[in-house]
Structure 1
Amino acid sequence: MANQIYPCLWFDGQAKAAAEHYCSIFKNSKISSENQFVVNFELNGNKFMGLNGGPMYQFSPANSYVIECETQEEIDHYWQKLGEGGIYNQCGWLDDKFGVSWQIVPRVLGELMADPEKSPRVIQAFMQMTKFDIQTLLDA
């Protein structure tokens, strides 16, 4: 059996609340087990562990979760739902109300960045954005 790798998110007593919040946002998501210290949950089939570890550690943007979106509607959904009560940052980044950092990015961004002629214009366009706008990137 292969080793499974998944993130453990350290919360100060809010692991269950965070897991419930995330499961309400992502399709195909569920809490699979819980006790007073640990909540195991899945988001879009990806396993996560929430740990009620106390106040010793805080989240930072040095560890973020990327959500690659096909459509503007998906970007809008995750941006609004995850950002509610949190902090919106530049270039598709946000910190949710639990302090976890997320990057909400269009799938097409990689293709646009791979085009050496278009890439500088795309960079200039997205440096002006908080939430990504796919059409603006395509038009750059």
Structure 2
Amino acid sequence: MKRAGVFLILLFLATAQPSDTGQTSQDTAGTGTELVQNCRRYFEFLGRTGAGREEAIERGPFGMGYCAGLLHGVVEMVETLMPDRFCRPPQATAAQAVWVVVQYLENNPLALPENDTELVLRALENTYRCP
């Protein structure tokens, strides 16, 4: 059953169009350029409470959802199908994973034009190396 869920997530990510994910143009869809902005907003959202959360979500709900879904999809896919690619600690939170991606993208600006899924995987691999 878990594999079916992972398959559906991957199928969604593979077939998502820019209009489905809140992207504003074909030029930046699926790259680190848009992802870093969306994940920054999502990280900010995760750190807020009460009215602050509403304010954060009003600024880009689709982009934040895209970031959350992409990270979740990559983590689930790797942990299910490629468990030796990275070793995320069991206590790692969603906010920490988002921050890992944001930091990687900000520290590697030349990689921003690359595919966002590959960048998420690379960020997680660099941070959560297996022993």
- TM-score norm. by structure 1 comes to 0.30
Which structure features the higher share of strand residues? 1
Q: Which has the higher contact order (CA 8 A, sep 6+)?
A: 2
- TM-score norm. by structure 2 comes to 0.31
Structure whose CA Rg is larger: 1
